[in-house]
Structure 1
């Protein structure tokens, strides 16, 4: 399924749903950030996805990172909750979802990089190279907050 992200766009379609999503800010021992290139919109992003019934937020994060990257992680702290109503995601099935994502810091514990049906590329990206990638502004904000190591979680 393809998706189109609209951000501060007055011509964006009106949201007709909301769902809980999680994303992982994961840095390795070389201070490189785990990132994927999504198959549905061709943008680079933090790994993550939707919470499924019966899961905790941490379980969803661990599952999504493993599914998209092949890396196992341990959730260590909350970075922020992102729910900007001016960021909507339109899917080709007619769903238009308002952003609602909870971003966590995670520590890699094992695994090998690999792609999936949701990730056409998976990389450990050096911090100085992140600016070169095509990343949605909402993901850039999460990355910024992750590197800032804020004293309190961000919420919007």
Structure 2
């Protein structure tokens, strides 16, 4: 299924759904960031996805990271909540979803890198290489907030 992101675009279709979702900022011992290339839009992103009924939000983080990357993760802390109504995602099936994403810092505790039906590539990326990658501006914001260890409270916006 394809996806088009709209960010403060006056021509964006109106949202018809809101789905709580998560992304995980994970660094290995070398300081590299776990990144996926999404199969729905080709962009690089932190691993993550939608929250399912019957699971805790930390369970969602662990499940999504495992499903998309093959890495077992442990949640450390919340780094931000992102609910900008000006960011909507249009899917091929007609869903137009308003952003509602929580970003968590997590640590790898096992597993091996692998792709999934949602990822075309999974890599550990040096932070210095992130600026050259095709990453949506809202995902860059999550990464910046998660990398900033001087923050005393999560970003909420």
- After TM superposition, the score normalised by the length of structure 1 is 0.99
Task: List aligned pairs for 1:12-27, cutoff 5 A.
Answer: 12-27=12-27
For the residue of structure 1 that corresponds to 2:125, the secondary structure is strand
Structure 1 ranges of 4+ moved more than 3 A: none
- Structure 2 equivalent of residue 153 of structure 1: 154
Pairwise CA distance, 1:147: 0.9
Task: List aligned pairs for 1:4-153, cutoff 5 A.
Answer: 4-149=4-149, 150-153=151-154
For the residue of structure 1 that corresponds to 2:52, the secondary structure is coil
For the residue of structure 1 that corresponds to 2:139, the secondary structure is helix
Q: Matched residues in 1 for 2:59 and 2:139: separation?
A: 21
Pairwise CA distance, 1:8: 1.2
* 5+ residue gaps, structure 2: none
- After TM superposition, the score normalised by the length of structure 2 is 0.98
Q: How large is the Cα RMSD of the aligned pairs?
A: 0.5
Q: Matched residues in 1 for 2:143 and 2:25: separation?
A: 7
Q: Matched residues in 2 for 1:112 and 1:95: separation?
A: 33
Q: Matched residues in 2 for 1:15 and 1:108: separation?
A: 34
Pairwise CA distance, 1:151: 1.0
Q: Matched residues in 2 for 1:41 and 1:146: separation?
A: 23
